Structure 1
């Protein structure tokens, strides 16, 4: 059984797991934020007031019954009124998350609404964002102004000088919206640090979402020899590690590893990445997919990279906070910051949005031994390599380099290592 299955887990267990993940991800403080679920009886399960978010247990979760009576050993969250107001005005919403993640708070205190057209899945998962004027926290009137925004159809609302609140059809849906929106805001903020973010048109996003992946035919039968099963375990561990390191979010990221010849294993598109299990991963053999499973929509790209690059045995396609600053601005990421960065990466060119679509050749004509990684504007970073751990290391190095550059932008002009120093590196490490 999965760690998080809304159909099988009690609301108090779902809430405890999600608030722990929010806290461990640095998206709320010990005292901040609240999470709730409304069950099939109309009872609302909600985090307690003034209890450490870093150590909540299922027994701490409060229940406010449909008749208004309260069950539990604490007080319900002081923000319970706006949770109730959202459920009353939007019956299809079954889970609500409120917190004060740094980037979203930044937007709330400058009183701006983030433009989710900066990356396709932000628009797809979050949609347009509502805006609730400031009212006293915990007050009934705050619930009223938030409910007014949800009545307009928004599933995520910026709370003026406060934070954000999101709703979902279940807890997984709500968490993905919350996490994706904070990532979107970080991308915009970091992008503004080094340049000017570019935004996609609704038509570009619709074209991306309307792509019909070249769905491979199913195998008639499938085998799972020991070497294949070992790759599944390796992929799962790297995906979980990427999520823990902030190099992948639950709604986006693909990992694949070559198996035998041009056969490979690849992650699926709809499973929360931090919850990925061995059985979720899809085998691609002889141009066919494992029966009953849907592989990543980027499967065609992975397949073609393997066919054309015998030296490539693993691929990671993901979004990371600082690399995406260069992706959304189109600014050149100069990896000549420290020797390790250049040795590992040499060059990371920007590719136009859409070059990752099935049938496009630009990325395939660029990936090589000398160019192991590319940035796709307003979409992702693609890193290739031999062993999966080494490919992951390249991703970490690239993100650390991008972070150093973004942070350094506030200090002065970048001074990279010079051409003679680069040539010395080439002779010593790449000859």
Structure 2
């Protein structure tokens, strides 16, 4: 199914099938697990069906339970319909619900713990405080009552004891973003514990991040879109969608930019879910001015400074990927002397303190160089630079694979890195 600019313009059937497809492809639910619903303006509840393959769900499979209780559709509504209905009845602000059994959040649910979302800068803002519902029989009225009780307290995300998670949102994309960000936070914590001990941001640090005002460049008076500029828009969209599909970017975080001409560049916007970014969303920054009517990424100032200082850099990716974030949330050293490819592509990846990416700070542009094409920002992100955008994305993939190998090897023993002599041989053979 083709994704469109505004997911909310899709019929509820299409929205549910689209989001379930994303969740399944990302390994966040199983063929039989999870359910999604949407409350429309008529008071009807659209919900995924019981007993239908989540990996092949079609809009025509989605069920509708009318306000009067009439059931319309070719299947049975999900067995968890009672708690969806209960949430909608007590929370008029919630119009969409996602429930699934994603592995990291299930890990928390089976040890009866709640992930602390202030491990990542935007997660606490996106997810809000997390509730906890004691165990009850799946599909039962008792389970619906326990979950509704938590939502009645004001929570929009609830850990279900020995079960999974349920999140609500003002619309389908709001709910999905909350679900995806919560699971991502849980993964970062679990992977981080393999290499160190996670550290957390204070409320003051998170507030400082959220209070950052986007770099409001003046608007251009006129704008044109030559063919080479349009080609770069297409290139950015393809990489953003690819990053989302491969788990290297989530809807609530991720910025990509590409140099166009001289120090002019194109960059992803703020406030648009990364899964849904389209050509017309991309923002042109030309002669220090922004494309009219568009709000570029809050890190535009950082990209500007990097391009101005580094003529060899033509593309930048700033993102959160789960295994690299294990090192970002713990501060554990990220040693890329694992295999030759990792060192050749990345050489050294410094870990920098949270806040260094804020407006007015110049440390990151000063640190970047051909020998330091990437940096990790504590509790925030990884920033990768390169020439062509595909090359930069390749570096990101190599970095994430290296981080994954380090996380996975932790139970086996300590890394035995490539030696200094071997590194010098690599330098002479590939970087001379």
- Alignment TM class, shorter chain as reference: over 0.9
Contact 1:217 1:288 in 2 (8 A): yes
Partner of 1:194: 195
Partner of 1:46: 47
Partner of 1:30: 31
Partner of 1:267: 268
Call closer, same or farther: CA 1:94–1:24 in 2, change over 3 Å: same
Contact 2:5 2:278 in 1 (8 A): no
The structural deviation recorded for 1:51 is 1.1
Task: Show structure 2 runs of 5+ residues with no match.
Answer: none
Partner of 2:416: 415
Contact 2:8 2:172 in 1 (8 A): no
The structural deviation recorded for 1:214 is 2.4
Contact 1:129 1:157 in 2 (8 A): yes
Partner of 2:427: 426
Partner of 1:71: 72
Cα distance in 2 for partners of 1:49, 1:226 equals 48
Contact 1:315 1:383 in 2 (8 A): yes
Cα distance in 2 for partners of 1:233, 1:254 equals 15
1:81 is paired with a residue of what secondary structure?
helix
Write out aligned runs for 1:357-368 (5 A). 357-368=358-369
Partner of 1:291: 292
Cα distance in 2 for partners of 1:132, 1:424 equals 57
The structural deviation recorded for 1:4 is 6.2
1:96 is paired with a residue of what secondary structure?
strand
Contact 1:86 1:146 in 2 (8 A): yes
Partner of 1:395: 396
Cα distance in 1 for partners of 2:68, 2:190 equals 44
Contact 1:60 1:72 in 2 (8 A): yes
Write out aligned runs for 1:27-426 (5 A). 27-426=28-427
Paired residues, what number?
431
The structural deviation recorded for 1:7 is 4.1
Task: Show structure 1 runs of 5+ residues with no match.
Answer: none
Cα distance in 1 for partners of 2:46, 2:257 equals 39
Call closer, same or farther: CA 1:406–1:2 in 2, change over 3 Å: closer
TM-score between both structures, scaled by the size of structure 1: 0.99
Contact 1:6 1:170 in 2 (8 A): no
Cα distance in 2 for partners of 1:231, 1:33 equals 38
Cα distance in 2 for partners of 1:52, 1:29 equals 9
The structural deviation recorded for 1:8 is 2.1
Cα distance in 1 for partners of 2:423, 2:110 equals 44
The structural deviation recorded for 1:73 is 1.8
Contact 2:214 2:296 in 1 (8 A): no
Cα distance in 2 for partners of 1:153, 1:219 equals 43
TM-score between both structures, scaled by the size of structure 2: 0.98
Residue-by-residue CA offset, 1:38-78 (whole Å, 9 max, x unaligned)? 11111111111111111122221111111112112211110
Residue-by-residue CA offset, 1:222-276 (whole Å, 9 max, x unaligned)? 0111111111111111111111111111111000000111000000022121221
Cα distance in 2 for partners of 1:408, 1:203 equals 35
Residue-by-residue CA offset, 1:121-177 (whole Å, 9 max, x unaligned)? 111100111000000000001001101110111100000000000000000000000
Cα distance in 1 for partners of 2:277, 2:244 equals 10
* RMSD (Å) for aligned C-alpha atoms: 1.0
The structural deviation recorded for 1:6 is 4.8
1:157 is paired with a residue of what secondary structure?
strand
Residue-by-residue CA offset, 1:263-294 (whole Å, 9 max, x unaligned)? 00000022121221111100000000000000
Cα distance in 2 for partners of 1:382, 1:314 equals 11
Contact 1:351 1:362 in 2 (8 A): no
The structural deviation recorded for 1:213 is 2.4
Structure 1 range deviating more: 397-406 or 238-247: 238-247
Cα distance in 2 for partners of 1:4, 1:111 equals 39
Residue-by-residue CA offset, 1:398-417 (whole Å, 9 max, x unaligned)? 00000000000010111001
Residue-by-residue CA offset, 1:307-360 (whole Å, 9 max, x unaligned)? 001110000000000000000001110000001111110000001000000101
